[in-house]
Every structure is written in structure tokens, then in C-alpha cells.
Structure 1
Amino acid sequence: MQTPSKHARSRLASMSLCLLTAAAPSMAQVAPGDAAGSNPIIHDRFTADPAPLVVGDTLYLYVGHDEAQRDEMFNMREWLVYSTKDMRTWTSHAPIMNVKDFKWAKADAWASQTIEKNGKFYFYAAVEHDASHPGKAIAVAVSDQPTGPFVDARGSALVTNQMTPKGTHSWEDIDPTVFTDDDGTTWLAWGNRQCYIAKLKPNMIELDGPIQEITPPHFEEGPWLHKRGQLYYLTYASLDRSTQRDEHISYSTAPAITGPWTYRGLLTGSGKYSFTIHPGIVQFKDNWYLFLHNASLSIGDLNGAIGRRAVTAEHLQYNADGSMKPVVQTSAGVSLPPPAQ
């Protein structure tokens, strides 16, 4: 293993602090809720980095599987998918992939997103590349069904650390988000500390043009692209290192996917007991939802921690000018109706 860089040591120190302070009060506000539709939405496994996809009358939710034991920081080897038709009851499906399914990758089944195009489902995920291309990388797999099985679509990484040489550390190429615009063009964005965007070729497994940097204020990781009306949204995990201990959610908007992006401020506070947070946004049956994660779940003798997170869901609403209304994280989640407009 390579000696961690200064940036790596700083981030590992922040993560270690989170482990030591996991029992401390959180900035997230919590309200009681019932079982169905309340938070966390999955109770029998630790899940993280939620990525929703709507197919017909069903919402599929792709998540990473946190398996850290005791004082482990991250132990993620597979990706899971759940489905719902009502946002209250969730069906668990078989794991869709293991990091070992990418023969060129050696570890870390980190954040992912799946998108449908041309009758197929394309799955983009962050992994640790083997020694041939050291650092984090983005993989792409394909399936005929949203629940898999998925198979490596390239036999190699779509993005490697060597393709973004201006970055400050070896794990900048993580957390892919994919978005298809109205003209049929699909875009990939990703990053940690730096946020990148690139167009995909119609085959969905090659970049089509240069990688551009679009880093918004306080960008940390976990970008998510979506569009509502004529406005494009870039939502992400943010960290103002001068005032914040844990990641929050911020967002920017633009008149085009290529920008210019305007910072719109915070969408949420931090996740309960969690250093990390990760947004996923979707419209489903006429309502908008924001998926996140925190570290509030306990299973057996394992409490929530940086490597044991839990996915949550909240209602998402917009103002008349297109800005998103701030979201208060609750334990009630979507078991309660959305607030009155």
C-alpha cells in the first residue's frame, strides 16, 4: 500500500475523528415516525450511497453494502438493489455485483448509479484499481434488467486516476452520477474535492470528448445530476472546512448541463452521527424525493459508524424560482405526507 499523501492523512484523520465522536449529538433534526416509510428505510443491513432509478411504476434503489466490523473504516465488497412501488415497503433483490466481477479492480465497492438507455441498464461504480493504474477508478457494467445480473461492459476502467492529473489525491475519481439530457446525450460527472464532467458516447461505455472540471463551492464528493423544467441541478456532499466537522448537502444550478453553474447554498445539514452524506434525487409518481444516508442504525451489537451507514429518504420540494426548499432530515421520512406548499 502506498504511503498516504498529506491530503489522504487529513481525510483519514477526519474519518477517525468521526469514529470517536459517533455517539455525539448531530446537527440533523429528528422527528418520530412509524415503521413503513420511516428512516432508515432498510433495517437489516448497513447501506450507503443511495442512487434511485424509476422504471415504469417501480423505483429501484442501488446502494453500497457497508460491512465494516468494530473499528474498521470501510469494508464494501458488493452492491445491492431494492425496489418499491409505494415508497413505504421495500423488496430486497440479490446482490447485483461484487467488486471481484471487475477483474482489473482489487477492492472497494463504493458509490454507484444505474441508468436506463436503449433498452439496457448501465451501472457506473467507483472501485480501487489494481497496480496497473493505481488509485480509484470508475467502472461500467451492463444488464438487460434493472436487478441484474450485471457484467463488466468494457473489461477495463472507464475513468482512471491518470486521466485526471490535475487532482490533488488518488481517490478523486469516485462517486459517478449519470444523466441523459433531452437531446439524448448522456453525461457522466464524478469526483472528490474536484468535480469532473464528460460526455458519454452513445454506446455508454466510452467518453466522448474532454474531461472538464466544474467544481462548485465546498465540493467534497457525491455529485448528483438532475433536471427539472429548464433548470439543471448539481447536488453534492459539501464541506466548509472552516466551520463544519461533517459533510452537508449543497447544490448549484445552471441553464445548461455545461454551465455556468451558480451556487445555491445548503440543501441539508449533516447526516445523524455520520461524517459522510450522499444525495440521490428522483421524481416518482408525481412526487420528488431526496435519498441520503446517516449512521443512526444499530444491528445486533454493531452501532452505526463511518463504515456502517443507513439509507434514508425525505420529501423534496421546490420554490417558484426553481430553488430547492431546505430539507430537514427526520426519522419519520416519507411515512408522513410532504409539507404543504
Structure 2
Amino acid sequence: MKSRNLIILIALICSMQTSMKAQNPIIKDIFTADPAPIVYKNTVYLYTGHDTATVKDTNYKMPDWHVFSSQNMVDWKDHGTLLSPKTFAWAEGDAYAAQCIQRDGKFYWYVSTGHKKNAESGGGMAIGVAVSDSPTGPFKDAIGKALITNEMTKDKKHGWDDIDPTVFVDDDGQAYLFWGNGSCKSVKLKKNMTELDGPITVLDIKNYIEGPWVYKRKGNYYLVYAGVGTKPEMIEYSMAKSLQGPWEYKGIIQENVPNSFTTHPGIVDFKGKSYFFYHNGTLSTGGSYRRSICIDYMHYNQDGTIQKIIQTTEGVAAVGKR
């Protein structure tokens, strides 16, 4: 009997050690970046970039986008490479930040990648959209051309200002696309989610550099982004009572991340808690071009402002069954 009790005790200790081990980064077998989570049918689907640069490389190598899913925020299933720039006949280059949203039974995956030089475009970065009937694909090019090209935006002269799309559907059904490097741009989308529905506007957002994430909570609109006020990047945010603005700057919510020049926000509410997704370079052999996604809790003050994100190696606890 004593021997049996000892075995049980050892098993419990091992179980406790396993549950207490560091969860962050959450994906450890490949390098992932630019997290974009959504909640669909009691599951969180996480759309990510994929870093494949070597430890000696001095620039990004991002060949494709991956999808992961979890029902408890701790155990993540890898659904593999579900999209790449090769999906789009007009595209070439790397798979920059992207976001997928669901509307009317379809999933629209907005991506930023390079545009081939041809009669329609002089090149530079562009935004495309893929579509599927399932959050895990198969995805196909929804319109056979880029939704946003470098020629459509003139406020910045560099060729990579049209990156990092985020899409939000307001309570009245109007959809909006936000994006940009160096300035934050916005445009309405038609209900089909694949056509522009008005002129492109440039928002007045303090310290904005890239990586916007737009959402609404308790009557407040939030624009969370990587800020230019400091280097390496920090995550800053503004709030508004309307998506048309004015946007009021609220400050920094995430300080520099370890071992990475960039960071990128993704925010979701799931089973009664708010979660903040980001990337850093803390995985073994990681760095600014070999990044990894992490999750920590997100908390709000009574007035709706966001509390500082506390970065941890422990990550978040499981919700629901394991």
C-alpha cells in the first residue's frame, strides 16, 4: 500500500510541475509571428505568420501563414500551412501580418504581401483577401486581384506602407478595413467584404507605426497598435466613441518585448476573460526575425481604459477541459 501511495504522490508532483511550466511562447516547434485570434463555436482560432529566417539572417523570411486552434487557451492544435502568397497569382514575396474574420458563414482572411510589377501595379506591398467556408480552409483568392495596392495610397512614399490589415464589423453591419505602416489608413467595405465602399482616409493617430487591431467593447472603440514613440516597438492605443474618430491617445500598454524589435497585438475575449496575444524572440535561437507568439491576460479599468499588460513566461491558465 505504501508503495502504491508513493507512486500516486510522485505522479501528482509530476502533474503539478507540468501544469506550472512556462506556457509562453505557446507554439514551440516553429517560429510564429503577428497573432490574429478569433472566437468561433467555442474555439479560438489563431492565424499567424511563420518565420523561417536562419539565426544568421538579417531580414525576414516568411513563406506562409498558419492556423492553430484551442478550446482552453493552453492546448493548441496546428492545422498547418493554410495560405501563402502563392495562393494569389498577383502576389510575390513574404507573408506579412494578416487577420481572418467570419461573416455570414464565410471566413475572410486579409493578408499583406508583395505585389508583382505588372500593368496594374508598380509593385510594393499590397493587401489581398482569401475566402473559405471553414476557419481552417481551404482558402482561395476571393477576387483574383489585390484589394489595396501601393498606387491607391499616396500619403507615404515608401513601398511598404500598405501592410498589416485589421477588419472590424460594427453593430450596424458596416465593415471597416484598417492598415498601414507609418500612417493608419481606413476604408469602408461593402457587405460582400471584398470591395471598397468609399474613399480611403488617413487617421490622426498619435505615435502610430504599424500593426493595428480594432475592436469594440462596452460602447468604446479601441485602436491598438505598435507605436513609433520608442524603439524597439511598444504597444500603444487610442479610444473613440465612433470609428470615424476623433481618436484619443491613451498611452502605452505593453513595454518592449524580449529579444525582438517588433511586437504585434491580437485581442480576444473568451469564456469570460480577456486575452492579449503578441510575439517576442524568447524561444531558443529566437530573435527579431525568428519570433514566437505569447498570451497574457488583459484587464480594463472601470472607465474602459486598458491596464498595463504584464508579460509572463507562465502565460495563462487553462479554461475548460484539458
TM-score of the alignment, normalized to the shorter chain, above 0.5: yes
**Distance (whole Å) between structure 2 residues aligned to residue 329 and residue 97 of structure 1:** 30
Figure out how many residues of one structure are paired with residues of the other and give that number.
299
Work out which of the two has the higher radius of gyration on C-alpha atoms and give 1 or 2.
2
Aligned residue in 2 for 1:285: 271
Is the 1:176–1:188 contact (alpha carbons within 8 Å) kept by the matching residues of 2? yes
Does residue 315 (structure 1) correspond to residue 300 (structure 2)? The answer is: no
Shift in CA distance, 184/104, structure 1 to aligned 2, threshold 3 Å: same
Aligned AA (1:48): A
Q: Which amino acid aligns with 1:65?
A: H
Pick from 290, 310, 313: which aligns with 1:331?
313
**Candidates 46, 62, 76, aligned match of 2:47:** 62
Question: d(CA) in 2 for partners of 1:215 and 1:141?
Answer: 29
Distance in 2, Cα, partners of 1:255 & 1:270: 29
1: CA distance between counterparts of 2:20 and 2:77?
A: 15
Could you tell me how far 1:169 is from its partner in structure 2?
A: 1.1
Q: Distance in 1 between matches of 2:85 and 2:155?
A: 27
RMSD of the alignment, in Å?
1.6
Match of 1:84 in 2: 70
Q: Work out the CA distance in 2 between the residues paired with 1:168 and 1:314.
A: 36
**Cα distance 1:182–1:296, how it changes in 2: closer, same or farther (>3 A)?**
same
Task: Indicate how the Cα distance of structure 1 residues 258 and 131 shifts in structure 2: closer, same or farther if over 3 A, else same.
Answer: same
Aligned to 1:43: 28
The 2-side partners of 1:50 and 1:334 are apart by 16
Q: 1:263 matched to which residue of 2?
A: 249
2:237 corresponding residue in structure 1: 251
How far residue 245 of structure 1 moved from its aligned partner, in angstroms, is 2.5
Give the drift of 1:336: 8.3
Name the structure 1 match of 2:11.
none
**TM-score w.r.t. length of structure 1:** 0.85
SS in 1 for 2:99: strand
Structure 1 pair 47/35, CA: closer, same or farther in 2 (3 Å)? farther
Contact 1:37 1:87 in 2 (8 A): no
The offset of 1:95, in angstroms, is 1.1
Structure 1 stretches of 4+ with a deviation exceeding 2 A read 32-37
Q: Which residue of 2 aligns with 1:212?
A: 201
Contact 1:176 1:190 in 2 (8 A): yes
Q: What residue identity is the alignment partner of 1:173?
A: D
Matched-pair contact (CA < 8 Å) for 2:99–2:166: yes
Distance, in Å, in 2 between the alignment partners of 1:102 and 1:64 is 16
* Alignment CA distance shift 1:156-1:317 (3 Å): same
Checking the alignment, whether the CA contact within 8 Å between 1:37 and 1:88 is kept in structure 2 is no
Q: Highest relative contact order (Cα 8 Å, sep 6+), 1 or 2? A: 1
How far off its partner does 1:266 sit? 0.3
Structure 1 residues 316 and 37, CA, compared in 2 at 3 Å: closer, same or farther? farther
Contiguous gaps of at least 5 residues in structure 1: 1-31
Q: Which residue of 1 aligns with 2:214?
A: 225
- Three-state SS of the structure 1 residue aligned to 2:297 is strand
Cα distance change on mapping 1:272 and 1:135 into 2, 3 Å: same
Asked if the contact 1:37–1:335 (Cα under 8 Å) also holds between the matched residues in 2, the reply is no
CA-CA distance at 1:285 after TM superposition: 1.1
Q: Which runs of 5+ in 2 are unaligned?
A: 1-16
TM-aligned CA deviation for residue 307 of structure 1: 1.3
Question: Could you tell me the TM-score, scaled by structure 2's length?
Answer: 0.90
Q: Distance in 2 between matches of 1:36 and 1:143?
A: 36
| 1:19 aligned partner | none
The percentage of counterpart residues that share the same residue type is 47
SS in 1 for 2:60: coil
